[in-house]
Amino acid sequence: MGSLKTLALAGAMALGASAVAKAADFPVAPPPPPPEPVALRGTLSSGIYLRGDVGVGITSIGKYEQDDLRNAGGVFISEGDRTTTFFAGLGLGYRFNNWFRIDGTLEFRGGGEASATDRWDYTNNFGRPGILTNTYKGNVSSMVALFNAYVDLGTWNCLTPYLGAGIGVAQNRVTGLTDQGANWIDPTGEYAAIIQPTLGTAGSGSNTNMAWALMAGVGYEVNKNLTLELGYRYLNLGDAHSGRLVNAFTGQIQGPLKVKDIDSHDIRIGMRWNFGDPDCCGPKEQPIYAPATHVVRKY
């Protein structure tokens, strides 16, 4: 009887060892992938981004016009054709892929100046020569809305050069315009001129017309959400005009001063905040999870 128990116990131990050895031959299940880190993501699409820009522009004015001066045969003899402007803007965009994106922007431009001098040579009621000159000074500002498209030209060391173009509208305003001048009269014909000062003011005037832009620059990807930009832009703003001119001494009303062919060469510093997960500095290799090595035990 004792021998039977001994044989049964030995058989059970042998079967258990065999089961353990076979179990050691089964592959071990791979560990689950780690959870994705919490990141700021858009609810509509991962390509959405916000942008903000500030900059300075060298703004040029092509020419000035004033209807009463033109009808009388006068001309502009001096035109301040360059002025420095400052601007700031915000925008919303969408990045389709690593090569193409679009955005809409709205910006305010200020600090510009309109400055010009005209001259009108005439004969007075007594047949004597006279010269009337006027110097105009005022402020020029703009509100610009643009739809822009960009082509990104590849990324090297986190730097992405780009080219772009935009089209939209600009509302240009002339404010604070004054007209200071002098009327030179020779009543005797002996060149004993009498100088009469003139003064005029004008209310604000605005004009809305098409605007368009060409752009080039480079972006630097600080991290997967933030991109900084430095760029150049040529911006064509169209025309502007003041309100009607009013003579401060006589109350005579004349036509507004027209500011024609406004454009600007801009340097912009900007940022883009991406509501997605762009590849910063190029694509990253994803980790690969492999099954664990089989372990076989020998008894």
For 275-284, the pLDDT digits (tens) are 865 555 544 5
Residues in the chain: 299
DSSP code of residue 121 = E
Q: State the average pLDDT over residues 236-244.
A: 96
For the chain, what is the domain count?
1
Residue 198, pLDDT score: 85
Q: Is residue 290 part of a domain?
A: no
SS3 state of residue 286: coil
Give the structural domain span for 253.
47-146+157-219+237-274
Q: Is residue 127 part of a domain?
A: yes
Residue 203 reports pLDDT greater than 90 = yes
What is the mean predicted confidence (pLDDT) over 85-114?
A: 95
Bigger pLDDT: 176 vs 82: 176
C-alpha neighbours within 13 Å on the C-beta side of residue 31: 7
Residues 6+ apart with CB under 8 A from 161: 152, 153, 154, 216, 217, 218, 219
Give me the pLDDT at residue 255, please.
Answer: 93
In whole angstroms, how far apart are CA 218 and each of 58, 104, 153, 274? Answer: 21, 19, 9, 16
Calculate the alpha carbon distances from 128 to 118, 122, 183, 186, 242 in Å.
20, 8, 13, 6, 33
Q: Which of 141, 146, 117, 133 is nearest to 213 (CA)?
A: 146
Please report the pLDDT score of residue 224 as a whole number.
84
Interval 227-252 mean pLDDT: 94
Residue 287 lies in a domain: no
> How many alpha carbons fall within 13 Å on the CB side of residue 82?
4
> In this predicted structure, which of 91-95, 192-196, 243-247 has the lowest mean pLDDT?
192-196
Among residues 224, 222, 108, 102, the alpha carbon closest in space to that of 165 is found at 102
167 in Cβ contact with 294 (< 8 Å): no
Q: What is the pLDDT of residues 21-35, one digit of tens each?
A: 444 444 555 666 666
pLDDT above 60 (res 299)? no
In angstroms, the CA 60 to CA 113 distance is 10
Point out which residues pair with 56 in neighbouring strands: 86, 267
pLDDT, one tens digit per residue, over 157-196 is 999 999 999 999 999 999 999 999 888 776 655 655 677 7
Instruction: Return the percentage of the chain with pLDDT > 70, whole number.
Output: 73
Whether 140 shows a pLDDT value over 90: the answer reads: yes
| Residue 245 within a domain | yes
Average pLDDT over the chain reads 82
Would residue 288 count as lying in a domain? no
pLDDT > 90? residue 40: no
In a domain, 162, yes or no: yes
The pLDDT tens digits for 47-77 are: 899 999 999 999 999 999 999 999 988 999 9
pLDDT over 90 percentage in the chain: 57
Helix (H) or strand (E) holding 2: helix 2-24
* Among 260, 115, 252, 80, CA closest to 183: 252
Query: Is residue 81 domain-resident?
Result: yes
**What local confidence, expressed as pLDDT, does residue 189 receive?**
59
Mean pLDDT of 279-298: 52
Asked if residue 15 belongs to a domain, the reply is: no
